[in-house]
Amino acid sequence: MDFKVIWSDAAIADLRDACSYIAHHDPQAAGRMGRGILEHVRILATFPFIGPAYPRGARGPLREIVFRNYRIFYDVSEAERRVEILHVWHGARDEPRF
């Protein structure tokens, strides 16, 4: 049985901001990037532990996967069979705060 993938408000805002920024220069590229991230995250429903541990999370070790220049931070709850997407972060930015 797959895990349920849930997007936090912060992660949705991150993705929206990234797409808006890219759209100022190339609207088609913004659409491709947004769809690419959404598609990439789907793998977490089947393989929630695929990303390496990111030990600096406020709630303990989190995980992250990478899509192009973006780091996607998430938390896994085995008991609830849930993956929560916490942030979509451009790799050139400073570390996010959780």
Closest C-alpha among 55, 85, 84 to residue 67: 85
Predicted confidence (pLDDT) per residue in 9-31, tens digit: 999 999 999 999 999 999 999 99
Domain assignment of residue 36, yes or no: yes
Domain assignment of residue 95, yes or no: no
Total structural domains in the chain? Answer: 1
Predicted confidence (pLDDT) per residue in 41-78, tens digit: 999 999 999 999 987 766 667 999 999 999 999 999 99
Cβ-contact 18, 89 below 8 angstroms: no
pLDDT at 75: 93
Query: What integer is the mean pLDDT of 73-90?
Result: 95
CB atoms within 10 A of CB 43: 13
Domain assignment of residue 14, yes or no: yes
**CATH number of domain containing 35:** 3.30.2310.20
* Ramachandran quadrant class, 30 (left: phi over 0; alpha: psi -120 to 50; beta: rest): alpha
Structural domain of 74: 4-90
